[in-house]
Structure 1
């Protein structure tokens, strides 16, 4: 598509948009299709049609009318076809094919070379909304530029991920921004604004937030249910989505694979009750890949795919991502649901209308007015500079005892560790155009003569039972064919190749680098840098630049063999088979360990010894440790521990023993628990994209003062962590909001090369707003950024509240000796919590502290304000009874679905007794009877604070989990008292009523 004069196009589109309609879409509403089609479709061949566009192509019409016009012109078959991710073209109307979904988490992914920015958790660590907005602009600009060259590149981008980083062992920790909903929503809003663009009518790309809702585990991710009580739902999980949606730059959401309160997210009533209530824009809901089929195949929530598809469509799913590019099965399921009366045409129309509204906003039907249609900016100097700026701002200085950092220009540096000469990508990275490792960055900054390098891997030969050794054949000619302009191997061309010769065995063999990533997961690398990999034919070849892929084919495990004292079996983790030496090469063929080759691992050089030698010869040692984002913690795989892998801990100890001036530089997608007491300096950066090494070197040299801040708590031990599936952040005392232990490094923590002073905190209330201001001064001798943070705390709350909660923050740059007065506008409503007793947000009257400082634990200033208001009063149980899921406290229970369409119930979770506590229940002058609405069978006991059971209600078998019965019993209580309800047996308690 070509673009008219940019200035004229923007001005014309803006004027038409503002005069014709105040919003780009209208709220969802049913349409009388036949009458609308008759009204808008002129006779074929009419000269008027030739002179003027069809109404859906007329930019002077309100957007809602345009969408309805196009919808009315589509046949039923055409509308059904649009429900699949890959919607076909409607050639008779000149409507192009369209697909939902283009990954763009930190750069354009999966579509070839693109600018690669730091991982999302690294962008969160910048605490810089403006920077992240500019990254979003660059990414969406490259989406448009790539789209102009390749129509497979989609404009509906599935990004960002706003799932809260509640649990640091989550495999996809790298994809989120923070454990805090305020920081997450602010960074997500900034990114979506960049992705959307600033034109009033047309969007550069259409962002879809992932993954709705309460999704923070990969273990059994499509069958596990997150039990999320009302306070956690409203105060924590919904907030990250809500504030981003309300900001107006979000096109939709993607439901997560998991269930919430026993109901799959893809049929969640929350899509209508919450998400679509936050805005009057059309929001496009795109399913996650394969999730529609999971409703039947793995979750067994529905008996047939027609039922499942109908339920998802009615709940609010508009685009079904299933079976890849093959739309036939989804089309058949929708048509089957329609024929069975499970859905109506209006349900289909509602979903298609939302899709068309998004396509309209992307300028598809106004190519001559689309201000982004001619975008060509790709891999520009500005984008490269922005990638470096983002990588620099994401680096967090965790510790710097004695001022070891920054390093002097003449420092002799040993750079060691598994990440020292790596620039790792993750599953949602684009292909690198430029690459910078820590080693390369330090070479560039300090000069190669000042650097000593030791990777620290063990060099081994694998000896077979016949006395030969595995050998990697040379592949120079094939190798040259796949090297890019900068000499780097292209992983897209190497991985899975079958034209390279497989490994063989001979009398001498090849030294292999054995890289131990922990949990007994190993990779092997040939001397020329190629990793051992397995292609579809099963042969082992040196044919990958890096481990990667949905199923990683480059990982192995050594298993002890009882048949040989020093023997090992070599298991390929991608196939689950064992390595054998066969006549035509080395192959993974044996399923039975007894048929596998037995190898002896002959170590020719120990990695820790090489590290110790390099460290002893240097002034300072930089140990680059961390993870490979495709191994031990990634999509489909949670981590098992916070600890560094044992091999990397061994390297760290060797470096420290040889040279006390050792800096640990963690390059990782998630936090670690590291023993740092004897380390003078520690840094952390997420995998920083194409400029990672340059950025790290500039920070180490002091060219840039570090100012990244931790976006999540770093815990000292695995013992500090809750169960991975415990989503009750309040009851489980999780994240910095509630954690009562001592963290390794707290939320918001990060040091600088300059000290800062905080002074003159002022808090003033003006109606519904608190105005907070204070002064920050750079008292050091270098220019640096400070991230000033404001937290709030309820002094004497009636219910458990956060120890402190982030309310605002700002990153500011200050020259030495200069000050900045920072002012913040905080809504009083931000002091509130979800009152389960009355089903509303409520700001409790009382004292609140305003805390200003450099982290959640480094508070420099504090002021107390008194907030007046009306007391909430006790629970009105006589008028409304008790919904079981609206408890104040619980032990041994889980929230489940009351029905397949709506509502919650509570069941005991561990096979024993579950207990619910409801505080301050107002029984008035007295009640004499209690009634229980429950399904299943078992007993429900009622006790008052003295612990004595006052009533026991037996629930006879009701016939199924959704077959409810109401059973009553005598129960006497009066006044305001706490109520304890105990559940025994496999029942679901939905509601309790009282009378008397």
Structure 2
């Protein structure tokens, strides 16, 4: 008699609802097992047949860090396409490659940490390349498209589970683990939260990742907004994954808590469900949680809440279904997992397919923005003799979140392919140098003929990480002839040195200098140096270690002492080579921009909008030699460039594997450019506020509030065609504004147009945006073709956050409806009158004033009222701070003011700019910033007035109350 197979437990039954299956599995887990799940690397539970699971697979613009994969344009480049359908298809391709790569390597995770929806508020942010736009509407539209592609379209099972980064108000790398973003309520609700909210509400997001920084004095990993905002948008299932090392930062760097047990408990209670800390070692986090449980800071129910949210993601990925593992699931019913095991599906062959290669090229082409095109220089004539020059001309750069290239296309290669190598001349523009020592010898690169071949991986792709860290190559030596290096000056006194065979000088763990890197890269870049004047020569400092280069008997190394002094011998200046090839050409293409690992990247903000001086010199040399000069900026962020004497300028983000082909096709006119700027390009550094000033409203930041003249405005981009707009019609009905108009191609080439719809309040009662994007659409039109576009905009899009009432309000009045080709190129206008709520005075006598609900401020920072909730205000610098609260209603009259304060200092209150009516001083400091006391003074006021409050000293103000 054959023994019966025991029935599968309920959590394995695909016919049961997920909630019941999760309940069953949760009940079977021990407390220790559940605690172990709270680390990023959740271990297997063998007795239940549960596999190990990890949160976190980087997939910002392709599968990252896991070897060869299709590399799409950087996120800011995808934002520049303004094409949600394209971006959805990119997300779909990436998710299929994640599944395919997991079939080969179980280190590849299905919980993907992408996209980044931080708004590109400030163009000097080092991680500008990771965001989509400075505008919350465009950002959420592109992010929603990408997450839908990552998620897949099955109603139940997800192909991958996207996590949005980085919650919240995160735009600086400078002191990023300790800096606090001061975000007033209007900016919080109208700007920073909005991109997250609209993306989450679209329904394809599995979770979010808090950022390293603090917001209003409180670390994001213990933010009450996780509970008060995020969890209210789509229920309580969203998974919150910490950023790497951030849980420890709460104690080690931010000193916000005294012990790690307190910090870990606070983060878990705030809503963090998965702790990314100490790499693959979960024991530290497990010990902290167990300690918090033992101290009564947490309960098992708190642990269950976090584990339940984790399991919800794992079930949606099909992990606990039959035929299983995280790649498998059942077949045959509409509700079954459509992502079966590798042996059962052709989906896992969907890796580096012709379709994905074509999509990478399409995305790169659509990301190109034509900024200027005077005369008829572009598109280039088919028989033109072209000089291609610049540091990026023969480069296909990767960034920190790229996969390894399977295919590589540089602008030079693209132009060779398109125009023929015989019509294209190239000059990189680097200075060619030798480095001579006092004894007359030179730095020399020993021969290593098979170095590159030994580190080619799958599909023959070079692996830069392997190249950079190699120790089997011979170190540099010295000899009487030396090696001629290409010296690339990236600005900020940062340079790279490249050997004649293309390998960069790099320093491995043993400290020796070798020509061993395909490109600069890595978390700590080991390929950057600085020349420091010293006596009659230079010291050569290696920036990765901070040590100087020293020539020793066993080879060239970096050392803390015995630094060698080098004489820099310039063999050829890059400007001379550029001028030589430019003079003989019909047209010159200068390709300039950045290396994504140098001077502006994760951990490092930029210091200026200007091009590095060396690249400026190359541009001037090309323009002086030939007025028919095109500038192509290939960069992760905007630049301030003098374009007045340039007939044509283009910009594209680093475009991935097809970047060069795409740029060449645009230059040749095979594709009419239709990318649009996703952020404002400012004319000078003086147009920018401080990097740490997050008050976009008060500091007049982004196209929404900027009152100057930009170099190029938000939404700008030209075409080889021309377009006309007509027939604008508007209708307000059923809680929506319906807008329609027609767009016609009046040019002679097929091209895309990006039609943009904006609004502005005509006579607002408070500061509102100059322009605000409501909707957009990218359409393809043949010559002479006309199409009608219709948009339905909910009236909630016209609301603003009214600090007087602590909520959103649609203000009654007139609103301009503006349709056109950019935020400044408006072709059609109409005005609609919307019903809403009129402005009303603040009920100051009844409710008082929450300190952070000011209308205007000067010298003020918002800080945490307590460690768990609420805001207070304090002077933000050495001087006093001032707050203004408009239209405060004191009714029939008040006679007393009471303030809740902590710290020490003086508060002065006045009305309508008059003399102080009350001065309140806290002479003895409170025990800590979170211990508040009340101070009272007499004040006489009635009717409606503006209230001004001046704060002096380290005083925190939480609330101002009035009584009669």
Normalised to the residue count of structure 1, the TM-score between the two structures is 0.94
Residues 1:614 and 2:569 aligned together: no
- 1:270-285 alignment, distance < 5 Å: 270-280=225-235, 282-285=237-240
Structure 2 residue corresponding to 1:572, chosen from 530, 542, 562: 542
How far apart in 1 are the matches of 2:548 and 2:137?
Answer: 48
Structure 2 residue corresponding to 1:962, chosen from 930, 933, 953: 930
Structure 2 partner of 1:499: 472
Residues 1:105 and 2:32 aligned together: no
Structure 1 partner of 2:632: 665
Assess if the C-alpha contact under 8 Å between 2:405 and 2:461 holds in 1: no
How far apart in 1 are the matches of 2:196 and 2:38?
Answer: 24
Q: Deviations over 1:531-564 (max 9, x none)?
A: 0000011000000000000000000000010x22
1:700 is paired with a residue of what secondary structure? helix
Residues 1:206 and 2:173 aligned together: no
Structure 2 partner of 1:888: 855
Shift of 1:788: 0.2
How far apart in 2 are the matches of 1:969 and 1:314?
Answer: 39
Shift of 1:487: 6.7
Structure 2 partner of 1:532: 505
- 1:6-155 alignment, distance < 5 Å: 50-155=5-110
How far apart in 1 are the matches of 2:942 and 2:538?
Answer: 72
Structure 2 partner of 1:648: 615
Structure 2 partner of 1:33: none
Residues 1:177 and 2:150 aligned together: no
Q: Deviations over 1:441-492 (max 9, x none)?
A: 0000000000000000000000012211000001003333224688764313
2:121 is paired with a residue of what secondary structure? coil
How far apart in 2 are the matches of 1:618 and 1:483?
Answer: 37
1:182 is paired with a residue of what secondary structure? helix
- 1:770-781 alignment, distance < 5 Å: 770-781=737-748
1:751 is paired with a residue of what secondary structure? coil
Residues 1:837 and 2:810 aligned together: no
Residues 1:351 and 2:306 aligned together: yes
How far apart in 1 are the matches of 2:691 and 2:710?
Answer: 18
How far apart in 1 are the matches of 2:289 and 2:31?
Answer: 11
Shift of 1:404: 1.1
How far apart in 2 are the matches of 1:333 and 1:51?
Answer: 38
How far apart in 2 are the matches of 1:316 and 1:484?
Answer: 41
Name stretches of at least 5 consecutive residues in structure 2 with no aligned partner.
322-327, 331-336
How far apart in 1 are the matches of 2:404 and 2:99?
Answer: 17
Structure 2 residue corresponding to 1:559, chosen from 521, 532, 538: 532
How far apart in 2 are the matches of 1:946 and 1:280?
Answer: 46
Structure 2 partner of 1:424: 397
Structure 2 partner of 1:596: 563
How far apart in 2 are the matches of 1:953 and 1:859?
Answer: 52
- 1:934-945 alignment, distance < 5 Å: 934-945=901-912
Residues 1:902 and 2:858 aligned together: no
Structure 2 residue corresponding to 1:689, chosen from 656, 664, 689: 656
2:450 is paired with a residue of what secondary structure? helix
Structure 2 partner of 1:915: 882
Q: Deviations over 1:542-591 (max 9, x none)?
A: 00000000000000000010x22xx000000000000010001101013x
The alignment covers a number of residue pairs equal to 944
- 1:364-443 alignment, distance < 5 Å: 364-366=319-321, 367-369=328-330, 370-373=337-340, 374=345, 375-376=347-348, 377-443=350-416
Assess if the C-alpha contact under 8 Å between 2:329 and 2:339 holds in 1: no
Structure 2 residue corresponding to 1:254, chosen from 198, 209, 216: 209
Shift of 1:51: 4.6
Structure 2 residue corresponding to 1:520, chosen from 493, 496, 504: 493
How far apart in 2 are the matches of 1:176 and 1:141?
Answer: 22
Residues 1:582 and 2:543 aligned together: no
1:477 is paired with a residue of what secondary structure? coil
Residues 1:990 and 2:958 aligned together: yes
Structure 2 partner of 1:9: none
Q: Deviations over 1:829-861 (max 9, x none)?
A: 111100000011101111100000000000001
How far apart in 1 are the matches of 2:792 and 2:960?
Answer: 43
Name stretches of at least 5 consecutive residues in structure 1 with no aligned partner.
1-45
How far apart in 2 are the matches of 1:893 and 1:167?
Answer: 20
Alpha carbons of structure 1 residues 227 and 485: separation in structure 2 relative to 1, 3 Å: closer
1:928 is paired with a residue of what secondary structure? strand
Alpha carbons of structure 1 residues 487 and 271: separation in structure 2 relative to 1, 3 Å: closer
Structure 2 partner of 1:971: 939
Q: Deviations over 1:902-937 (max 9, x none)?
A: 000000111211111000001000000000001111
Structure 2 residue corresponding to 1:444, chosen from 410, 417, 422: 417
How far apart in 1 are the matches of 2:837 and 2:517?
Answer: 66
How far apart in 2 are the matches of 1:464 and 1:99?
Answer: 52
2:618 is paired with a residue of what secondary structure? helix
Assess if the C-alpha contact under 8 Å between 2:404 and 2:461 holds in 1: no
Structure 2 residue corresponding to 1:802, chosen from 763, 766, 769: 769
Deviates more, 1:799-808 or 1:490-499: 490-499
Shift of 1:520: 0.7
How far apart in 2 are the matches of 1:281 and 1:441?
Answer: 49
Assess if the C-alpha contact under 8 Å between 2:862 and 2:873 holds in 1: yes
How far apart in 2 are the matches of 1:544 and 1:447?
Answer: 30
Structure 1 partner of 2:948: 980
How far apart in 2 are the matches of 1:727 and 1:962?
Answer: 24
How far apart in 2 are the matches of 1:790 and 1:634?
Answer: 33
2:435 is paired with a residue of what secondary structure? strand
How far apart in 2 are the matches of 1:79 and 1:967?
Answer: 48
Structure 1 residue corresponding to 2:291, chosen from 336, 351, 362: 336
2:487 is paired with a residue of what secondary structure? strand
How far apart in 2 are the matches of 1:479 and 1:920?
Answer: 71
1:402 is paired with a residue of what secondary structure? coil
Structure 2 residue corresponding to 1:314, chosen from 260, 265, 269: 269
Q: Deviations over 1:851-876 (max 9, x none)?
A: 00000000001001111233141101
Normalised to the residue count of structure 2, the TM-score between the two structures is 0.97
How far apart in 2 are the matches of 1:899 and 1:679?
Answer: 55
Structure 2 partner of 1:950: 917
1:665 is paired with a residue of what secondary structure? strand
How far apart in 1 are the matches of 2:138 and 2:377?
Answer: 31
How far apart in 1 are the matches of 2:836 and 2:315?
Answer: 47
Structure 1 partner of 2:180: 225
How far apart in 1 are the matches of 2:451 and 2:761?
Answer: 66
How far apart in 2 are the matches of 1:520 and 1:296?
Answer: 35
1:274 is paired with a residue of what secondary structure? helix
How far apart in 2 are the matches of 1:667 and 1:835?
Answer: 41
